[in-house]
Amino acid sequence: MRTQVAIIGGGPSGLLLSQLLHIRGIDSVVLERKTRDYVLGRIRAGVLERGLVSLMEEAGVADRMHREGLRHDGTLIAHGGDMFRVDFARTTGHSVMVYGQTEVTRDLYDAREAAGGQIVYNVEDVVIEGADTDTPFVSYTADGKSHRLACDFVAGCDGFHGVSRKTIPQDLRQEFEKVYPFGWLGILSETPPVNHELIYANSERGFALCSMRNANLSRYYIQCAMTDRVENWSDDAFWDELKRRLPQAAVAELQTGPSIEKSIAPLRSFVCEPMQWGRLFLCGDAAHIVPPTGAKGLNTAASDVHYLYNGLRQFYEEGDRSGIDRYSERALARVWKAERFSWWFSSLMHRYRDQSEFDLRMQRAELDFLASDAAAQAAMAINYVGLDY
């Protein structure tokens, strides 16, 4: 079998790249390790930057997002029992869209299948060969048979544990990592959100976040120790702890109920340089991970897709190699800015075991400054709604 672009990974970044290439008449085959139902069963955040919204529109898969998604023009920051609002629309002229990653993925699957796009599920034993030549190919096993997929380019959208990053020789890549000393305990509940916008809370007991999936499905998080276990938290214990971390104005509006999903997510930052080797390109978690504070994970993957899609489009339509040759440089420039924002926002909102009284006063001063300074709020809003590509 042959295609122009072999895409390893059938998550949102791989599917978005495949759909965008299809719109321009560029062939691709998506290889996915799991089934469609398994991928759609993953619970992920869903705050979409303006750039990702535009890419969904360009890909022709934005109708349901605009119909069912929730446009947010700002967010609330709580600390010391008070709350203040950062107004995205007023300071930047832009907003974000709250629309679950599962729904993004579902829309992309539907679009690829409607277009007759080739997606191979239950793929195993994937090996990328010849990436540093002009004739790369991917070998894999599916349905108990060995297959070879010849291609012009390979897009590695297969996550942190996939084969793509590891295909780049170890002596040619440099990896940077920060592991945070806490996690997020999160629950999903069939309850209306406590507020129509997200609430990020810094409290003496640790961080908390009030989010949502839709008008009747809420997602809440509290900072917890990495050694903690989900089994240690009953629903009542979670709700009680969440209330202790929120201002009374938010607690008064909070509606509780049984959880339908509960999990603990670690927080870490990771970047691999470079993001390409020959004709192999890394996208999303295959190349970088951000802590969930500020919801940059999916959005940073989308920016990778933007640079790679446009580079491939220029190559096939104009014979111009500059986009693919500079892919890593351009993608990493934006990745590190997203990493900086996620690091800053995480440092601002969480409590650390080794914080001194001086550190706590600095954190409080930073929050007070953000609450009172228009320029500081504008800087946060610019990063939150998404930097230019």
Catalytic site residues? 72, 200, 292, 296, 384
Angle, CA of 328, 332 and 333, to the nearest 5°: 120
Tell whether omega for the bond before 274 is within 30 degrees of 0, i.e. cis: yes
Query: What residues have CB less than 8 Å from 74, skipping those under 6 apart?
Result: 85, 86, 87, 88, 89, 90, 197, 381
**Of 164, 125, 103, 101, which Cα lies nearest the Cα of 33?**
125
CA distance 235 to 340: 34
Half-sphere exposure of residue 244: CA atoms within 13 angstroms, side-chain side: 11
Query: The tokens of 212 are what?
Result: 């949502």
**Nearest 5°: phi and psi at 134?**
-85, 0
d(CA 85, CA 265): 27
Identify the three-state secondary structure at position 8.
strand
CA-to-CA dists, residue 377 to 30, 211, 335, 338, 363, angstroms? 41, 20, 21, 17, 16
At 366, the amino acid letter reads E
Structure tokens at 14: 């791989």
Measured distance CA(72)–CA(86) in Å, rounded: 11
Contact, 367 vs 202, CB < 8 A? yes
Eight-state DSSP code of residue 296: -
